[in-house]
Amino acid sequence: MEQSPIPNNVVIGKNHRLEQFVLIGQCPPGKTFEPLRIGENAVIRSHSVLYAGNIIGNNFQTGHGVMVRENNLIGNDVSIGTHSVVERDNIIGDGVRIHSNCFIPEFVEIGKKAWLGPGVVVLNTIHPPCPSFEECARSNYIGENAKIGGNVTLMPRVRIGKNSLIGAGSVVTRDIPDNVVAVGSPARVMKSLDDLDCLLHFYDTPYEWEERA
């Protein structure tokens, strides 16, 4: 398969694969950013667009048609699914999995090994459009090892605790503590993560394979 060309403002590690119709190192009109830096073993699938100014670790993968705007700091072993959008100035930790059709706005921090199911939407502005957006929107946090179920909406200024699980379709309007299960609209804490059962009895409890601090 023919690979897309590598522009001069892109530094990419060995063993990469850039599929056709990939655009990397983009800049908005009239702006210039630092070079796009991508580690080794990257797989950027067709029709994805990665802007300049990003620093991305090793083993990065995208689905098809992914958009990653400028000035994100993305760790190792991160995967972003088909048709997902990551806006600018985010911090995404090692091992994060963002599934298809997700939207991550500006100024979000996602901890290591967090998992976002299909269709997750994170919102960061209380009263859009806001003249103080650059200050007001710096608020959303998803903790290490958190799992966000499919089609969840995280409202502005919420923090998801580490290891916590948010049930599919929930709307999260307030902070969720560590190590709990929260479900509903608005999402409410229902139980401890340790109270979950493995319905198919493969394990005594779900997530027993994980190391939790």
Catalytic positions are 127
**Of 197, 191, 167, which Cα lies nearest the Cα of 179?**
191
Residue 43 to residues 104, 107, 150, 160, 180, Cα–Cα distance (Å): 20, 25, 24, 29, 34
Residues in the chain: 213
Six token digits for residue 209: 């394979």
Is-contact 136 164, C-beta < 8 A?
A: no
**Of 165, 159, 169, which Cα lies nearest the Cα of 207?**
165
Reduced to 3 states, what is the DSSP secondary structure of residue 67?
strand
CA distance from start to end of the chain: 44
